[in-house]
Structure 1
């Protein structure tokens, strides 16, 4: 309690200290005044339109990496013309290059940048150095967009804008139109926006910016220039509809089913800052498959979000790591209760999402507000009485409401204070939950030091209320060659946000010291060097127990040939008291100390053939105990349209110890051998910047063989036992194949045809040879799924124009 009060006092003291308005760190900002055009240029990447002739020009770009601050050479100069009209803002950029044939222009799907030269614009309508919107076009004409904040880049954000790119005899050119409906700015008669523009030349991996960006600092948004000249514009209504139609044919175990779906997403601009998004009758049937594994740990496996509605525009909802969107529409929260003569006939694997919406945005005073709400349907299991043949239904998930509320106040450049609240309310006698967190990042005037921290609480209401808490505080140097961080965090035993978040380890405290060194300018042999050193100490809180002390060093280098490589070491000199593996409060398992060393290498990504590998070896202070993890990857680019990626990840764990089971009096630990192999292949043929065919394959195989079983002593050591005879040997296989055709036939509109083939099995045996393993896998029923989904973007302003034209004709 004293610790929490101290942290609260420090927070309010810091807020008072930072409440005064900071002056900019005397960063010089370029300015450009643009003019209005009465007619719009054609967006085709050819800069021959008359409108460009007298447009203001932005030039004199400055190198960001690798030679920070070096002026761009005249032979590679960048010239950008900028105009605006009543509907949007236009950019016409000529990227000079004396060798146009060497311009990198690999085709990818939208939002994918690979071996490409590119040009981009970052616009901040509030000119507050807090959040910019990025619009990027590659030399192949592929679009990429993202939100850029002081926390980093959120590429899940998607916008509707227009672009064209062409290689020409001077180099290459791009034209961009960004409608005002896609931007955020105040309703002032005279606008003043923050703006930067950037360019990458892939063959030299050189980045340039219009306004100088100091790479000694930690935030790109601090270095905006200023865009002036936009006056008396009336932003259009921000309202769009994206209806969809989908159909599925599923074949499994000799049975074929079909279904048809329809629904719609709605996006509405409430005002200049806030946007309302809603999905009605959502369909997530074409989400990518999950990379499932054989999980022997005490914790559930966490999967990445694959559903578009939950991946777009999530920068506010990800604050504090308290929202795990896979909970919405995840597994049911209960398994049915059965009597002696009953069995579960049908159990829903997933809960159906009824609808969901989110409201998000940021005011001109820097207050970000996000609100998410989702409703899932009641799900029932079917239970069969084997004696009477009768069936009954039991609710395993009731109607449930999920919501997340976020307030994020940014001020004085990079500083922020946030409040996050998540809530789950279930109908009936099912459990409810709530969690609340206060987060802060406070940065000094020169953007060189940061204090950070958080206070979080969780409440679970299920036959009483369980309260848990988590706290963190630290200080960090965030600029210059030499950087460091000192921080600590503590989590109580009842911390639980798993109804709408994701939490694993509880009842521990951790204290960390970190030092990092980096170069800010290239040396004779290296473009980049990063050296990092970490000390971590862990202990159990209740009852107190020293858990672990870890030293870690990891290093990364980029040489002049753009090969990236590194390695490191880690060791635990005193061993570990694992407080989680026994899966019983107050108990622990002794793990011997280890020395871990690893190396990794990644070849030049500009080459047609790129390869990478990682070798990681753990040597434990116990005879015959070790772990070996490896990764091998190959990518071959046959052309700018066709590439293949393959990865192979074998790993071996010898004589590890882990939980096997327990009785009323004993906890059983098994000594085991585990072998895992993962093969993955991705092949993509991109016809043009709007059309692509992708093949994705993954086979995961893992087997575990138990050698001996022990009982766990109170001091964490092991004792031989003959009281455990259960067979825990096992083999798990997962097989997935996706063949996907995607066509962006209009801005925001997509047609996707998908074929999916999948199967998996678990065998209560191990050490099968390759042939027998595949025979057993392919004897399982396979899922064969064909699906077609069409989404079409409708902008309210365009629909209104169509209606007017129709009325005029009539």
Structure 2
């Protein structure tokens, strides 16, 4: 099924893997041997390193530069000590600086590593893939991240309780850290042997130096750590933490006359509980009862004219912590067997009643409770089990006679996700699996929902030759069960489109009550060593694959071949610090064997000597066919496309830095085009305050934008039109830190998109090469719009009678979201949030400019307001 170019790229990658055996610099592993604090000795965490307990271990240094001049002696030396007692690990670090007055001390919120900082990474599992990172800046701002995928994933949502302080003196600056063993996972042994790395950022020179030397072409991060020894007879500490919370919330909004559900304000008092229970030191049970996510940022504005669902990042703390264990990306893009945003989703039902005068529809499903069991054992088992229940959700209805009632719009639903992986072959390989289950208690009025949905998968990865080369793959399967209505609706959804009129391999069967599908990926490549990186593979999603009950699947019925090749320039020159060039190619098919797409793309990046940078790329798409453009109609051909982009920016260390970008896409015959202008900037006028702004303006005209499907003389008629679409959005953020534990943050985003349609046409030969053969324009005598308002009337055969009607598709969508949050971590792990949120959603006049609609629909509208006070207290038992 693969075309010649696809096979050529695969053979080229296979040849490179045999021929391009580049040797990288061999680096010996270092070992630090610690000693225990004498009994009775106490270390005060004040950043001073003057307690006599520190004398039990000597200072060790000999850091080497990682970036930019790999392997050289750092501009400023760094030394450290590590000791411990029965409960804590202590790290003392001396960061020498010959000009202490130039040490950069920028304040920020936790996990924002601004200015000079020092970081310690600990692989207490000693699995060469995962680790715990503790970071502190010269200003005393701390950060912590869980490292997975051998350094390819750093999760800042991990927020352990630990203690740190810094101090600046005539020799530079010092830092002390006190890390409870309860926050680090390890097994019971007489001596612990852990992976260890220390990483310093010397801000003025933008220099990174490491205790364990590491070449720039290393195949990973954690696998290259040195070793920490000397930890004798420390006992794993079972974690037991309980964190209750209370929330007071006041919502205000413009009242609606006569609507009892919109009287101008609502007040609620709420409470809940989060808990962490250490089943063993390795495995933790997380519980949440009636969770509240009121302080979480709003989703960015977006609009999708292609009909597909929009992927939004998870922002809720309970679900993002340890998310690496549950993650199962199986193909490309965002396709995943577990998408936690499904839990607590907006209700899928709605009130259908002509007598309903007022309806109060809930925005989200209530999560009654959730439990998450996760961790990694000393034997290399990664385990995860998540269970969550969302309650029945009702819409309150008031009919025209004044009678009130409640109607179920989302049923009681249970979600289950189980994940396991096992390391072997000296941690160079793993195999794993996942299962998911969604079960709903469905009444008759929600019979269009699937009753149950199950999915499972197997995955593996094998590394060899010091992890420079790898092969990985996965296989997934899904099975859904529901009423005939639910399964038919699934078949005709945009993810599947079994009703496609020219598809021979799928068809809508209204009697089915289940569907079963498969998917997967197989990939091999070179991940490290030398200057070349490459990979290639094949992935597929069968027509009946369905994951959208607790996973994310954009489109089924696809087979894709892909290949990538990159050349890295890692040795600094007089022009740049680092650079890279890349080539990509892919082809796609459907399961009927239709050859749908091929694309070639070039990418380049350069970081100049002065830390300015440029990123550019271009692509050619000589063949673009789509099974989804006509929403169940025949396969559609787009004119061939070329696109290119260029971004450049200034030194990100500076108190003012910026990024400018431009994206241009152009299809042949002006079928469609895209122009996107991007401006981003960050400004920190003084250490305690930072401001960032990100703006995008986009023009996206398209001569064949899908409008509707209708009928003409008993045959389907697919209507498209020319659209002039313009979109503008800006995101504004600022942070003011009174100290590392007390900050004020603001987030605001106005978003507006408008589209005006003209030059309506109908499809007559959707796979014709020429645009004018694909569609036929309506003449002025065929289409009319009385009084230039409302729907368009079409007399296609010019017999004087209206054949069909096209609803006015013009739109102008306007949205504004903002959060102002005061956050105070008054003791480690316990916080108070004071939140003010504003929002408004409106529909403007499409004939007006973006600026006028922005003014009238955002600046000129009364907004919804939410005032929230949330307090938490973490009990450590």
Both proteins in one fold, TM over 0.5: yes
User: After the TM superposition, which residues 191-590 of structure 1 pair with which residues of structure 2 at under 5 Å, given as runs?
Assistant: 191-254=192-255, 255-320=264-329, 321-338=336-353, 341-342=355-356, 345-386=359-400, 389-411=402-424, 412-428=426-442, 430-431=449-450, 432-463=452-483, 464-479=513-528, 480-542=530-592, 544-574=593-623, 576-584=624-632, 587-590=634-637
**1:720 to 2:777 alignment:** yes
**What is the rounded CA distance, in whole Å, between the counterparts of 2:543 and 2:358 in structure 1?**
34
What residue number does 2:74 align with?
A: 72
Deviation digits for residues 580-638 of structure 1, max 9, x if unmatched?
Answer: 12111x62222111211111001001212101111011122114742101111122210
**What is the rounded CA distance, in whole Å, between the counterparts of 1:415 and 1:236 in structure 2?**
29
Q: CA deviation at 1:372?
A: 0.7
Deviation digits for residues 358-404 of structure 1, max 9, x if unmatched?
Answer: 01111112110001111100012344554x55444332211111111
Q: CA deviation at 1:214?
A: 2.5
SS at match of 2:318: helix
Note if contact 2:729-2:750 (Cα within 8 Å) is conserved in structure 1: yes
Q: CA deviation at 1:285?
A: 1.7
SS at match of 2:622: coil
What residue number does 1:21 align with?
A: none
**What is the rounded CA distance, in whole Å, between the counterparts of 2:347 and 2:404 in structure 1?**
20
What residue number does 1:799 align with?
A: none
Q: CA deviation at 1:778?
A: 5.0
Q: CA deviation at 1:294?
A: 2.5
SS at match of 1:572: strand
What residue number does 1:690 align with?
A: 741
What residue number does 2:707 align with?
A: 660
User: After the TM superposition, which residues 123-142 of structure 1 pair with which residues of structure 2 at under 5 Å, given as runs?
Assistant: 123-142=122-141
What residue number does 1:807 align with?
A: none
SS at match of 1:316: helix
**What is the rounded CA distance, in whole Å, between the counterparts of 1:296 and 1:195 in structure 2?**
50
**What is the rounded CA distance, in whole Å, between the counterparts of 2:657 and 2:844 in structure 1?**
37
What residue number does 1:766 align with?
A: 847
Q: CA deviation at 1:127?
A: 2.3
Q: CA deviation at 1:317?
A: 1.1
Q: CA deviation at 1:414?
A: 4.0
Q: Which of 717, 731, 752 is the aligned partner of 1:701?
A: 752
Q: CA deviation at 1:121?
A: 1.1
Q: CA deviation at 1:711?
A: 2.2
The 3 A distance-change label for structure 1 pair 271 and 773 is closer
SS at match of 2:686: coil
**What is the rounded CA distance, in whole Å, between the counterparts of 1:27 and 1:656 in structure 2?**
59
Q: CA deviation at 1:170?
A: 0.6
Note if contact 1:135-1:143 (Cα within 8 Å) is conserved in structure 2: yes
SS at match of 1:663: strand
The 3 A distance-change label for structure 1 pair 53 and 106 is same
What residue number does 2:721 align with?
A: 670
Deviation digits for residues 646-705 of structure 1, max 9, x if unmatched?
Answer: 222100012343221112522222220101111222122111111111122211111000
What residue number does 1:610 align with?
A: 657
**What is the rounded CA distance, in whole Å, between the counterparts of 1:391 and 1:257 in structure 2?**
19
Q: CA deviation at 1:494?
A: 1.8
What residue number does 2:83 align with?
A: 83
Q: CA deviation at 1:336?
A: 4.0
Note if contact 1:35-1:56 (Cα within 8 Å) is conserved in structure 2: no
Unaligned runs of 5+ in 1: 2-24, 797-810
What residue number does 1:15 align with?
A: none
**What is the rounded CA distance, in whole Å, between the counterparts of 2:866 and 2:551 in structure 1?**
31
Q: CA deviation at 1:713?
A: 3.0
Note if contact 1:435-1:456 (Cα within 8 Å) is conserved in structure 2: yes
The 3 A distance-change label for structure 1 pair 119 and 391 is same
Unaligned runs of 5+ in 2: 2-24, 256-263, 330-335, 444-448, 484-512, 768-773, 779-793, 795-803
**What is the rounded CA distance, in whole Å, between the counterparts of 2:525 and 2:216 in structure 1?**
17
User: After the TM superposition, which residues 45-60 of structure 1 pair with which residues of structure 2 at under 5 Å, given as runs?
Assistant: 45-60=47-62
Note if contact 1:130-1:410 (Cα within 8 Å) is conserved in structure 2: no
Note if contact 1:473-1:489 (Cα within 8 Å) is conserved in structure 2: yes
**1:752 to 2:833 alignment:** yes
**What is the rounded CA distance, in whole Å, between the counterparts of 2:137 and 2:659 in structure 1?**
25
SS at match of 2:806: coil
Larger mean CA deviation between 494-503 and 647-656 belongs to: 647-656
**What is the rounded CA distance, in whole Å, between the counterparts of 1:29 and 1:425 in structure 2?**
51
The 3 A distance-change label for structure 1 pair 650 and 175 is same
In angstroms, what is the RMSD of aligned CA positions? Answer: 2.0
**What is the rounded CA distance, in whole Å, between the counterparts of 2:832 and 2:555 in structure 1?**
43
Note if contact 2:679-2:696 (Cα within 8 Å) is conserved in structure 1: yes
Q: CA deviation at 1:714?
A: 5.1
Note if contact 1:52-1:81 (Cα within 8 Å) is conserved in structure 2: yes
Note if contact 2:186-2:377 (Cα within 8 Å) is conserved in structure 1: no
TM-score computed with the length of structure 2 as normaliser: 0.84
Q: CA deviation at 1:513?
A: 1.4
Larger mean CA deviation between 766-775 and 739-748 belongs to: 766-775
Note if contact 1:191-1:228 (Cα within 8 Å) is conserved in structure 2: yes
Q: CA deviation at 1:192?
A: 1.9
**What is the rounded CA distance, in whole Å, between the counterparts of 1:448 and 1:189 in structure 2?**
33
**What is the rounded CA distance, in whole Å, between the counterparts of 1:199 and 1:725 in structure 2?**
63
**What is the rounded CA distance, in whole Å, between the counterparts of 1:215 and 1:404 in structure 2?**
38
Q: CA deviation at 1:764?
A: 6.2
The 3 A distance-change label for structure 1 pair 768 and 196 is closer
**What is the rounded CA distance, in whole Å, between the counterparts of 2:672 and 2:191 in structure 1?**
70
**1:783 to 2:836 alignment:** no
**1:680 to 2:734 alignment:** no
The 3 A distance-change label for structure 1 pair 157 and 241 is same
Q: Which of 43, 46, 49 is the aligned partner of 1:44?
A: 46
What residue number does 2:490 align with?
A: none
Note if contact 1:630-1:650 (Cα within 8 Å) is conserved in structure 2: yes
User: After the TM superposition, which residues 181-192 of structure 1 pair with which residues of structure 2 at under 5 Å, given as runs?
Assistant: 181-192=182-193
SS at match of 1:156: coil
**What is the rounded CA distance, in whole Å, between the counterparts of 1:770 and 1:228 in structure 2?**
63
